[in-house]
C-alpha cells in the first residue's frame, strides 16, 4: 500500500445502480506535509471492450445505442457509436468479452487477443477496462445480436469500412474513447 495515503473514512452515497462512495483521507505531499482530502469514487466494476475487424473486407463491427450520460451532456439524440463492451460480472476479461461479443454483435469469436488495459476515468471511476481485438468473418455470425432485452439493451450492429471509421472519428460521429483507442490501435499496429 502507498505510505503517503491514509484512508480516514468511507461513506456510501449511493448503491442504487453501482456504488458511489465519498472517501476522506490524508495524503502526504512531496514536502512531507499531510493534507486532508476528500474524493468521490464510483465503483461499477471492471469491464472489457473488443474491436472486431475483417482484413479481407477492410471492415470493423461497431454498435450504436442510447447513452443517457451523453444525452444529458449535449449529445442531441443520446446515441453513441461504440466498440462492443461489457462489465466482467465476476468473469475473467476473456470470458466477458466472448459473452458480450455474441450478445451484442451476434458473432461467436474463437480467439480474442488482449492488447492492453487502462483506467478510463481515474479521477472519479474505479473501472479498469481490458481491451481486445479479434478477426471476424460471416461464418462466425450466429445471431442478429442487439443485446439482452432483459437488460434493456437496444443495440444496433454496424459493419463499417475501416477508413470510414477513421473519418467518423475526425468528424465527431465517433466520440467514444474506448472505440477511438481500439480503432487507432489497429492503425498504429498496421493491422488495418
* Count of domains observed in the chain: 2
Residue 150: the pLDDT is: 66
Contact 174, 167 (CB under 8 A): no
Residue 67: which pLDDT band, with cuts at 50, 70 and 90? very high
Domain co-membership, 33 together with 51: no
Domain co-membership, 62 together with 11: no
The range of the structural domain enclosing residue 16 comes to: 5-43
Mean pLDDT of the chain: 95
Residue 159: the pLDDT is: 97
Buried b (16+ CB within 10 A) or exposed e, 80-111: bbbbbbbbbeeeebeebbbebbbbbbbbebee
In this prediction, residues 165-171 reach a mean pLDDT of 98
Contact 27, 7 (CB under 8 A): no
Domain co-membership, 62 together with 27: no
**Of 172, 164, 185, 149, nearest in space to 51 by CA:** 185
Residue 167: which pLDDT band, with cuts at 50, 70 and 90? very high
Domain co-membership, 145 together with 95: yes
Amino acid at each position: 500500500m502507498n505510505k503517503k495515503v491514509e484512508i480516514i473514512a468511507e461513506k456510501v452515497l449511493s448503491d442504487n445502480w453501482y456504488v458511489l462512495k465519498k472517501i476522506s483521507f490524508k495524503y502526504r505531499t512531496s514536502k512531507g506535509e499531510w493534507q486532508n482530502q476528500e474524493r468521490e469514487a464510483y465503483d461499477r466494476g471492471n469491464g472489457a471492450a473488443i474491436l472486431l475487424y475483417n482484413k479481407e473486407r477492410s471492415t470493423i463491427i461497431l454498435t450504436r445505442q442510447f447513452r443517457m450520460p451523453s444525452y444529458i451532456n449535449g449529445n442531441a439524440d443520446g446515441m453513441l457509436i461504440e466498440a462492443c463492451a461489457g462489465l466482467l460480472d465476476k468473469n475473467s476479461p476473456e470470458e466477458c468479452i466472448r459473452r458480450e461479443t455474441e450478445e451484442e454483435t451476434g458473432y461467436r469469436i474463437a480467439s480474442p487477443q488482449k492488447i492492453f488495459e487502462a483506467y478510463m476515468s481515474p479521477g472519479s471511476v474505479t473501472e479498469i477496462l481490458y481491451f481486445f481485438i479479434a478477426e471476424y468473418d460471416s461464418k462466425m455470425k450466429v445471431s442478429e445480436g442487439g443485446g439482452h432485452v432483459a437488460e434493456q439493451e437496444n443495440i444496433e450492429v454496424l459493419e463499417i469500412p475501416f477508413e470510414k471509421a477513421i473519418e467518423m472519428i475526425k468528424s465527431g460521429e465517433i466520440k467514444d474513447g474506448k472505440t477511438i483507442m481500439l480503432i487507432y490501435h489497429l492503425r498504429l499496429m498496421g493491422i488495418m
